[in-house]
Amino acid sequence: MSVIVVTGAARGVGRACVDRLRDEADRLLAVDLEAPGIEGVEGIACDVSDPDAVARVANRARELGSFWSLVHAAGISPTMADPRRVFEVDLVGTQLLLDAFEPLVEAGSSAVCFASSAAYQVTMLGPDPELDAFVEDPMANDFLDRAAARFDDSGLAYAWAKRGVIRATARAAVTWGRRGGRVNSISPGLIDTGMGRQEFEAQPIMQVMLDNTPVGRLGQSEEVAALVAFLVSDDASFISGIDILIDGGGLEGLKALARG
């Protein structure tokens, strides 16, 4: 039996992915900090920054059948935690999942991990080779200590953690590819979710971003889920190792604003 795993499955875009993909495999494993109670799928609790919890999810997927896809939507936003925890959940958690599921990969398996348009915005003023090198090695023993020392702003930590997610998925595309699998990431912009609304309330820059988004509105969870569904489908069988912005043109809008 084929198995899909969706993290962050209880709400927002993760839940939209569950609804979009539930009929695309024989079994769907819905993962969140507390086991989601979604009819027709199996829920499992997991803190993605906990290696043992992540291993349990991978083992359960193995027990259920043939691994088809991992959709990793779980994560935290800047208002939810300090910089260290942002890196721990958003970047280290992503690497843990990619590593844990790699042994399950077979021909046709795929993964989509969620990054963010913030990963592009943070480099609008120019590249930072030192920080790019830093996020390349999230499993280093002292990584989180160094992250906490480098960042005192959760917003910047979030952006660089998500930049690290893009790099982690690109690396995994190589190792998964040797087993016949594919890995991509997506970078949503402003999406109408509970997490997104929380950021709007806390950060005035969010309204500036919306005002300069060319399509003139927030994205919807279902639109992101549609992109995910394409990337894990056989129609995307030659797409691997890339990141796709889904931001309504927001990044280009901000660049135009900066140019005046």
Within 8 A by CB and 6+ apart from 167, the residues are 132, 135, 136
Residue 164: helix, strand or coil by DSSP?
helix
- Amino acid (one-letter) located at 134: F
Element (H, E) at 10: none
Element (H, E) at 134: helix 129-134
**Annotated catalytic residue: which of 67, 134, 143, 158?**
158
The DSSP secondary-structure symbol of 79 reads G
Structural Rg of the chain based on CA atoms? 17
Return d(Cα 195, Cα 197) in angstroms, integer. Answer: 5
Residue 120 known to be catalytic: no
Q: Which residues are known catalytic residues?
A: 158
